[in-house]
Amino acid sequence: MDVTPVANLIGEFTDGAQKIGPGLAGLVFITSGLQLLIGHLIGSSRGQELGKAGMIASVLGLVAVFFAPQIMATVHTAFGS
């Protein structure tokens, strides 16, 4: 099974994501931090949980975008021709 077209498509996507990823992750992190702060100030435990989850997700998303090329290279080596 040749996964070259899929690997190329994902490679193009990750190239684009690496360009906008840091700015977008920073914006999501700040927004989630504000949500956490507001949730804490008004005593909303659900708001605090969502704020924490957003902050964690922004960091994990940024890490995933930067490690995607290595992951795709490994998959391509395992299944590609």
The model carries a pTM of 0.68
Residues 6+ apart with CB under 8 A from 9: none
What digits encode the pLDDT tens for the residues 21-75?
A: 888 888 999 999 999 999 999 999 999 999 999 999 999 988 888 887 788 788 7
Angle made by CA atoms 75, 54, 29, in degrees to the nearest 5: 95
Half-sphere exposure of 8 (CA within 13 A, CB side): 4
